[in-house]
Every structure is written in structure tokens, then in C-alpha cells.
Chain A
Amino acid sequence: AQSVAQPEDQVNVAEGNPLTVKCTYSVSGNPYLFWYVQYPNRGLQFLLKYITGDNLVKGSYGFEAEFNKSQTSFHLKKPSALVSDSALYFCAVKDPGGGFKTIFGAGTRLFVKA
């Protein structure tokens, strides 16, 4: 069965510093991996995805994520955090051979302090 874990409930970072939000996954085949962001009182927004190809994928708002097959990880990164990046971030995984269902992680709350 597929699963996804976000080991940190909360990440705190100072504005201008690099940020990392961690995600690990478990899926039987080659996974489709996603990051979504949810700003306060708003729906989820798609940030980026990994389907195949280059292990480093770039997405919206300057975010990127690195797929590491050996470590089964897909950590979200940004070189320089902004206060406006403060939000709830969800990692998600889909097993290509497992129907249409996508599994979402528990979420990590990012706080960027000015």
C-alpha cells in the first residue's frame, strides 16, 4: 500500500535563509510525487510534481524538490525563504498502477520569521 510521511509538524526558518520541508514515501512502483501549499483560509494550490526525468523539479513561487529514489524522499526546498511562504505544505504520492487515488501527508506548517 502506498503511504507518505512528513516527519515534521512544523518548520521554523528566518527570512532569507534556505528552507527544507521533508517528505518520504512508500509505493510499490515508480511514484508520482506532488507538493501542495495551503495558505490560511484557502484551498490547496499545486506547487510542483515529479513524474519522471530530472530528479530536481522546479515549481511555483521559487520552490523546488529533489526526488531521491534510494532514500524514497521528495524534500521541498527554497534557497531563500519569504515571510509570505508561511503556510501549510502537503506532500502527496500516487502509485501509477494503483488507480486514481492520491495519498496526502499529514502536512507541515512552515513559519518564516522576519
Chain B
Amino acid sequence: SAVISQKPSRDICQRGTSLTIQCQVDSQVTMMFWYRQQPGQSLTLIATANQGSEATYESGFVIDKFPISRPNLTFSTLTVSNMSPEDSSIYLCSAGDSRGEQYFGPGTRLTVT
């Protein structure tokens, strides 16, 4: 298993600004993912963070809006750019292997006003 930490745990931001969320894993992992979740609802995959190369984005998500970095096997960041109230959500980082088992961070609760 892996222990995932995220920061910040929550933030309130003004529209038009950007927020960078950090995700740290306590061990080297093959895969890291970023999800978005409305409270009480399912997870939507934003992108797969690839170490040393550009992230792989899911349909509906673009790099200009959600730039992702993954400089090494234990760390990744997600930036939510030019925020609007529609970006208010919980953002989850996860780490896993190629078989699919994932370990999740506690989440970042973002409110955009």
C-alpha cells in the first residue's frame, strides 16, 4: 500500500485565479491519477500523471485548464487555472500500479467564489 498526502486540504478562491494542488506519495509508484468528485457522487478521472512526460487527459479536460506536473515517481501537482464557480469540487489524487489497485489522498475541497 501507499500513503498519499495532499495539500491544501481545502481552499476558497476567487474566480479567475489559479490554485495548485500538491500530491505526495510515501513510496515510488508507477501510476498517479487526478480525479474530481462532487460530494456524495462518483469520481471523474481528469488525467493520468506520467512521470517525465505530458499527462494523459480524459475527454472534457484540457492541459490549459488543468496543467499537471510529475517530476518524479513520488510527487505530482494539479493546477486548476482561471477558476470559475463550476470548478468547485473535491480534487483527489491517487497512486497505483498497472493492475488498477489505487490508494487515494484525503482530497482537496475547492470552493470558487
Contacts and interface: CB of A to CB of B under 8 A. Distances in A.
Interface of A: 32, 34, 36, 42-46, 49, 51, 88, 90, 92, 94, 96, 100-102, 104-107, 109
B98 A100 contact: yes
Interface residues of B, number: 23
Contacts of B94: 44
Contacts of A101: 45, 48, 58
Interface string B4-32: 10000000000000000000000000010
Q: Is the interface of A mostly helix, strand, loop or mixed?
A: strand
Given A43-B105, A43-B106, A43-B107, A102 B41 contact: no
A90 B107 CA distance: 16
A34 B31 CA distance: 17
Given A49-B99, A102-B102, 6 more contacts: A32-B99, A34-B101, A44-B94, A90-B43, A94-B99, A104-B43
Interface of B: 1, 4, 31, 40-43, 45, 48, 58, 92, 94, 96, 98-107
Contact of A92 (B1, B48, B92, B100): B100
A87 B41 CA distance: 12
